[in-house]
Structure 1
């Protein structure tokens, strides 16, 4: 009979991935994306989340991109000293591809049960002259700011990163720091050391 293996703890493998410009996102997955905004709005976004646009190419929602170079262009016609680009964790939910002008669901995808809309690069949409992709998420709670990807002011970058770390520690589950808006996590007692543990923690090692 084979011997038993004793262990206490785990390390989770992250499933969040980056997408290439032409890679179709898979519904229900979690991806790394970016958002460019005014530096003056940065702290409010970190503390209170994104405020969805009321309208746009894909209707209402939060506009983001998996292309950091595209995110750096926003807000348009703004000096780079007044901008910041956030790195995001995005739980995209159910995705609808919009790839042509006057698509029947171009601005009504959410009403049809979709959480995110995606415009592939070089689609037949005349308003996107750059040919770059576009992503729009309906519910801002699906988006978490995890880092500052670009900010020319080093002091501001450091300040914002500290705020992000502080916010992530105090919001959501106190063990895994993930959002708990859908309900509290099932916190248990470790079978070996007796510490409180959450199944969504990235890592647990008994002391």
Structure 2
């Protein structure tokens, strides 16, 4: 059986990891970190993020490409209760927030941006993502308790499998490409427009690039 791929217009950055001062590019997907309490980590893995109501960059989900930044959160608990989640983040359209445009620090989304980025300037950089669906937990980057880390990693795998079953359907044809779902294949989201895609599609034209 041959599989035809054509017309795909979306970005993938093979590096994945950005340097602290490197500006993220529109439409790319990057690895970042998010610090949370070990009890909250389970809910995030299974149900997704709940955006913060406020902060330096206003409403959104806060993360950083620097693990040391994430390891300091949350600030009101013991370091042994903290877990750092490894994320895959589809940044979308990014606004750099510095001294020249600090007036957009909390209104960047209303001005058409998906992610706000504060570059490092005497501190550690941070990012704020408006839409929680742009973030996917893919691993545990730091956890002092080996048992908790193992449990969370198993939960990540279980959730990924259940999500794949929900996307593909346990029987019949794949809901995305229409092909037989008996032999399971992964369903993901386009890095650019977040539309559901799978490797068996003949064509996908990214809405943000068309």
> Is the TM-score greater than 0.5?
yes
2-side partners of 1:9 and 1:101: how far apart? 47
Structure 1 vs Structure 2 CA RMSD: 2.9
Q: Determine whether 1:167 maps to 2:159.
A: yes
Deviation digits for residues 63-109 of structure 1 (CA, Å, limit 9, x no counterpart): 00000111111111421211100000000000000012871211000
Equivalent in 179, 185, 191 of residue 197 of structure 2:
185
Which residue is 2:128 aligned to? 136
CA displacement at 1:32 relative to structure 2: 0.2
So what's the TM-score if we normalise by structure 2?
0.75
Whether the 8 Å contact between 1:169 and 1:177 is mirrored in structure 2 is no
Query: Which range moves more in the overlay, 69-78 or 143-152?
Result: 69-78
Q: Determine whether 1:86 maps to 2:85.
A: yes
So what's the TM-score if we normalise by structure 1?
0.76
SS in 1 for 2:40: helix
SS in 1 for 2:153: helix
Relative to structure 1, the CA distance from residue 98 to residue 46 in structure 2 (aligned partners, 3 Å threshold; closer, same or farther) is same
Could you tell me which runs of 5 or more consecutive residues in structure 2 were left unpaired when the two chains were aligned: 6-11, 169-184, 205-210
Which residue is 1:194 aligned to? none
CA displacement at 1:21 relative to structure 2: 0.6
Which residue is 1:37 aligned to? 36
Could you tell me which runs of 5 or more consecutive residues in structure 1 were left unpaired when the two chains were aligned: 1-6, 123-129, 189-196, 201-207
Runs of 4+ in 1 over 6 A off after TM superposition: 7-10, 197-200
Whether the 8 Å contact between 2:188 and 2:197 is mirrored in structure 1 is no
Q: Determine whether 1:176 maps to 2:175.
A: no
2-side partners of 1:107 and 1:120: how far apart? 16
Which protein has the larger Cα radius of gyration, Structure 1 or Structure 2?
Answer: 1
Q: Which has the higher helix share?
A: 2
Whether the 8 Å contact between 1:185 and 1:198 is mirrored in structure 2 is no
1-side partners of 2:202 and 2:111: how far apart? 34
CA displacement at 1:112 relative to structure 2: 0.5
Whether the 8 Å contact between 2:33 and 2:86 is mirrored in structure 1 is yes
Relative to structure 1, the CA distance from residue 187 to residue 131 in structure 2 (aligned partners, 3 Å threshold; closer, same or farther) is closer
Number of positions where the alignment pairs a residue of Structure 1 with one of Structure 2:
178
Which residue is 2:145 aligned to? 153
